Structure 1
């Protein structure tokens, strides 16, 4: 068919429209915005961060939430069990302010006498419940005793939320005071990593050549010195405490970060944008701070987050074996050490600091995992 003979009425003018093939439907996001978006999609990491914020707030404000100081000693109120006003009627929660346990004997009377003897013969304040009567020969009798120690000591209107230790010091106050000290050491280790480790590794990796060789030989010498040996040397020179731990972390705590930063700098320092900046006469210090460090910021943040729980465990371990803080100073390590000595008879002294240090370490590791995924471009959707 000849198209020139078609009637003009069949044709309509085509209006000009923008080419939508290259039109961006949504605004573009930066890498940091993508990382933030990915991180906030990780619900477990967000919950862990909220938990950490709550623990940090309690470490600051918890010691001032009652009238007891972290070192207020009164032996007359020693080893008082946890008691909370709103929960003292719910026995299974463990906040009813009573001691309890099972006692065995050849007869019920013998088992009962053991219970009375264990709880200072305060018979008027001890409830006895027979679990197994026995027969005196083939099987033992078992009784369960509940000792109302607050009433026995005429302290009905007194509440120790997490109990007291053997010297009568309030465990709630000491727990959060100890958490504050442990967090201080953890963030100190993170700060040392960021200041010394990043600077040392960045300079070593960027300079290269003879400077890098000399700096790496120094690192190898420091790597060969275990942290425990450094702590022992500090104790010989100084005394066990925060100062000794701080100096030990300053000497050897940044080596891992320095090695990681050096490796990352070596990978990217010969890329085109760095060579272009160098060609334009940019100073080395500006290239490191403006071009190299921002591109390895994800690695730095992630390793810093993993450093924090390691430092908390390091302090707790040293305090537990007597090389860290020493009583009456409080830290999670010293509280666990004290609780371990009374584990069989007063398990609550160990339970609460162990829970706090476990939650802190797990939460920091989960947040670090979330940050690692957030700074991985493959995880961005």
Structure 2
């Protein structure tokens, strides 16, 4: 009996021919992105960095328009309104904000009466405008009694219809106006320092790293000499010729402030200049200047941008330090460092005078550092997903 070998074969209807389309077999489903597009995408994923950018934009705008929110100028002195505490409309009724326009402190004495007398003497003997809250009756020993005194200074000076949003200083100048004008000065110095880094540091480091050899040796020896000169020494020498102010600080940064950027750029250029794309550009006959501008600089742009962002808070702190020790911005001009210095001298009696500029300079430095961290992650290829 013959065996039918075709009985075990599957029916032909189960087979469907595969149609291969050559034009779509290797089609990319998503559009390709450049390195900078990937960097931007990674940066915007960093919520802290994006929030810092928004906050920094607000601070920059306020430094421009903030001083014009009231009628007081930078140096409008009036001793009758000296050392007025912060007071803001509507917000004066919100507790714990410190904007109610009163001075408050604790006073001690052997008895409640003595502690109260100390409070009255401290606040210009304006007893009818001082609210006393007894904290401790005392036991007769030294300074065992304690009272909390609240001085309604706006009522005492018959200024109930006036508001100083951040208070006034020892000369009666409005702190709101001076803080934003001081922020403007500090930011100007910081951005000038960043521009010096870009113009001098990047150019110097790029030329030194690209040409190498004798040119690099000579330029690096000059750089080492400049790095060895402390900034304070440069400032002292400039003060012999110039008065304390923006010009002396900018010149000090021009002399020594760009050296760190120059060394970083030199190191990056040394790594990049032997890459194949640079060799190809040389083979095609492009000039050295064009190779540096068109090929090397874009490929080290990430590290340049990151270090520029870290330069700005360093310059702000440098200016604040100089102003704090009396070598920076000279009165009546203001900067954040100068305002902190003025408030520090009366910190125990009028803490609000140092509080607001200290908060602002801290916020500025933190935001720039967070932006720098975000840019560092954005320009790191390992962070791109």
The bucket for the TM-score relative to the shorter chain is over 0.9
- Aligned to 1:34, which of 22, 35, 38? 38
Number of residues paired by the alignment? 380
Deviations, residues 102-161 of structure 1 (Å, cap 9, x unaligned): 111111111111111000011111111111111323771111111000011010000000
- Aligned to 1:300, which of 304, 307, 312? 304
TM-score after normalising by structure 2: 0.95
- Aligned to 1:136, which of 137, 140, 143? 140
User: 2:98: which partner in 1?
Assistant: 94
Deviations, residues 197-255 of structure 1 (Å, cap 9, x unaligned): 00111111111111111111111111111111000000011111111001111111111
Partner of 1:67, secondary structure, is coil
- Aligned to 2:81, which of 51, 68, 77? 77
2:222 is the counterpart of 1:218 = yes
2:130 is the counterpart of 1:118 = no
Q: Higher mean Cα deviation, 309-318 or 41-50?
A: 41-50
User: 2:69: which partner in 1?
Assistant: 65
User: 1:172: which partner in 2?
Assistant: 176
C-alpha deviation, 1:55, in angstroms: 0.8
User: 1:47: which partner in 2?
Assistant: 51
Deviations, residues 160-186 of structure 1 (Å, cap 9, x unaligned): 000000100000000000000000000
Partners of 1:89 and 1:317 in 2: CA distance: 36
Structure 1 residue ranges without an equivalent (≥5): none
User: 1:104: which partner in 2?
Assistant: 108
Indicate how the Cα distance of structure 1 residues 357 and 7 shifts in structure 2: closer, same or farther if over 3 A, else same: closer
Partners of 1:77 and 1:9 in 2: CA distance: 99
C-alpha deviation, 1:23, in angstroms: 2.5
Indicate how the Cα distance of structure 1 residues 13 and 100 shifts in structure 2: closer, same or farther if over 3 A, else same: closer
TM-score after normalising by structure 1: 0.96
Q: Higher mean Cα deviation, 360-369 or 8-17?
A: 8-17
Partners of 1:148 and 1:8 in 2: CA distance: 100
Indicate how the Cα distance of structure 1 residues 303 and 12 shifts in structure 2: closer, same or farther if over 3 A, else same: closer
User: 2:332: which partner in 1?
Assistant: 328
Indicate how the Cα distance of structure 1 residues 9 and 53 shifts in structure 2: closer, same or farther if over 3 A, else same: closer
Is the Cα–Cα contact under 8 Å of residues 206 and 262 in structure 2 kept in the other structure?
A: yes
- Matching of residues 1-381 of structure 1 within 5 Å: 1=5, 13-18=17-22, 22-137=26-141, 140-381=144-385
Partners of 1:206 and 1:138 in 2: CA distance: 75
Q: Higher mean Cα deviation, 158-167 or 219-228?
A: 219-228
Is the Cα–Cα contact under 8 Å of residues 109 and 142 in structure 2 kept in the other structure?
A: no
Partners of 1:314 and 1:11 in 2: CA distance: 78
Q: Higher mean Cα deviation, 313-322 or 84-93?
A: 84-93
Deviations, residues 325-356 of structure 1 (Å, cap 9, x unaligned): 12111000100000100110000000000000
Deviating runs (4+, > 4 A) in structure 1?
5-14, 18-21
Structure 2 residue ranges without an equivalent (≥5): none
RMSD: 1.7
Partners of 2:309 and 2:287 in 1: CA distance: 31
C-alpha deviation, 1:25, in angstroms: 1.3
